[in-house]
Amino acid sequence: MDRFWLKNYPPGVPSDIDPTAYASVVTLFEESFSKYRDRKAYVCMDKALTFGEIDSLSQALGAWLQGRGLKRGARVAIMMPNVLQYPVAVAAVLRAGFIAVNVNPLYTARELEHR
């Protein structure tokens, strides 16, 4: 396959990764939260969240979800557009031991009920 997109990678970004480097996505998140704590992770409409902010916000939301009585492996629907709250919600759900289920925010009530 012609991997034409590689020419757009900045210097230092590998063209391949080792998928066995992390036991889970949560492990990758937590290493990134620690290693890049003060760096911007996401920017949206001139507002930014650092890795450290995502770490603390996702811990708080994950604890809140666990406090609602959800059990490990429960499915949690995330119905959001591309906003800064989205990566916080995904990290929270996964770190709390739940399954993140992305739901199209444009679904009608009938479509959502069907899902």
pLDDT over 90 (residue 112): no
pLDDT over 90 (residue 115): no
pLDDT tens sequence across 55-98: 999 999 999 999 999 999 999 999 999 999 999 999 999 999 99
Query: Cβ distance 100 to 78 under 8 Å?
Result: yes
pLDDT tens sequence across 11-28: 999 999 999 999 999 999
Q: Which domains does the chain have, with CATH numbers?
A: 23-114 (3.40.50.980)
pLDDT of residue 43: 96
Entry pTM: 0.85
Mention every residue, 6+ apart, whose C-beta is less than 8 A from residue 12. Answer: none
What type of residue sits at position 82? N
Alpha-carbon gap, residue 91 to 78, rounded angstroms: 11
Query: Cβ distance 47 to 87 under 8 Å?
Result: no
DSSP 8-state assignment for residue 71: P
